[in-house]
């Protein structure tokens, strides 16, 4: 495997791991603050990101590359509001999408067509996750500081998230 691509995939392993731990910290904050629906949502997102990471680890190994399991920074664990939480969720997804687009670009430069093909799964996944994060943040912007709205958001988050998936 081309060394530039190998490095980029190792970086991506780190980004997926970082997202997984960040979403776990968000789930825990929501759990501790009475937002049970939001907590379940982020516990599940954290698991998903872990699977994305593992999928990359296995792929690099299958292709004879060298995996480097990274040391991670401590995730942010305190938030002032649901808005701040979901703002961070969207930023994290936008960041990951940018990194994936960069890998795709470099794969074409280095004629790594197998990796390019493999990464298409991540392109689709990011499209869905970014759209979902945007929808959820839009709803929270409409709700603002209104407690009753936040209560309903917490209760219905999985319905909102799934409705978004069905529109894809
Ligand atoms: Fe790994 O799917 Fe989003 O970040």
Burial degree of 142 (CB within 10 A; 0-12, 13-18, 19+): exposed
Q: Phi, psi (5° rounding) for residue 69?
A: -75, 125
pLDDT of residue 167: 62
Entry pTM: 0.95
Residue matched to tokens 């209104």: 146
What are the domain boundaries of the chain?
3-69+79-167
Within 6 A (CB) of ligand 1 lie 16, 19, 49, 52, 93, 96, 125-126, 129
154 band by pLDDT with thresholds 50, 70 and 90: very high
Q: Residue with the nearest Cα to atom 1 of ligand 1? A: 49
The CATH number of 3-69+79-167 is which of 1.10.1060.10, 1.25.40.10, 1.20.1260.10, 3.40.50.720?
A: 1.20.1260.10
- Name, in order, each residue with C-beta under 8 angstroms of 100's C-beta and a sequence gap of 6 or more: 12, 119, 122, 123, 126
Q: What is the mean pLDDT of residues 42-68?
A: 98
Residue 110 CA, ligand 1 centroid: distance in Å: 24
Q: Is 167 left (phi over 0), alpha (psi -120 to 50) or beta?
A: alpha
**98-145 pLDDT per residue, tens:** 999 999 999 999 999 999 999 999 999 999 999 999 999 999 999 998
How many residues in the chain?
168
Q: What is residue 165's three-state secondary structure?
A: helix
Residue 119 CA, ligand 1 centroid: distance in Å: 12
């Amino acid at each position: 495997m081309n060394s530039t691509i190998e490095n980029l995939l190792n970086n991506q392993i780190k980004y997926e791991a970082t997202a997984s731990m960040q979403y776990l910290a968000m789930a825990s904050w929501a759990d501790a603050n009475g937002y049970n629906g939001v907590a379940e949502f982020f516990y599940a997102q954290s698991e998903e990101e872990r699977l994305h990471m593992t999928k990359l680890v296995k792929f690099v190994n299958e292709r004879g590359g060298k995996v480097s399991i990274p040391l991670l920074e401590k995730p942010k664990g305190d938030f002032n509001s649901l808005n701040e939480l979901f703002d961070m969720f969207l930023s994290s997804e936008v960041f990951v999408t940018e990194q994936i687009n960069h890998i795709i670009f470099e794969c074409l430069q280095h004629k790594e067509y197998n990796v390019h093909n493999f990464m298409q799964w991540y392109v689709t996944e990011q499209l869905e996750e970014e759209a979902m994060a945007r929808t959820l943040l839009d709803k929270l912007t409409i709700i603002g500081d209104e407690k009753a709205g936040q209560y309903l958001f917490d209760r219905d988050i999985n319905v909102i998230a799934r409705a978004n998936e069905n529109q894809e």
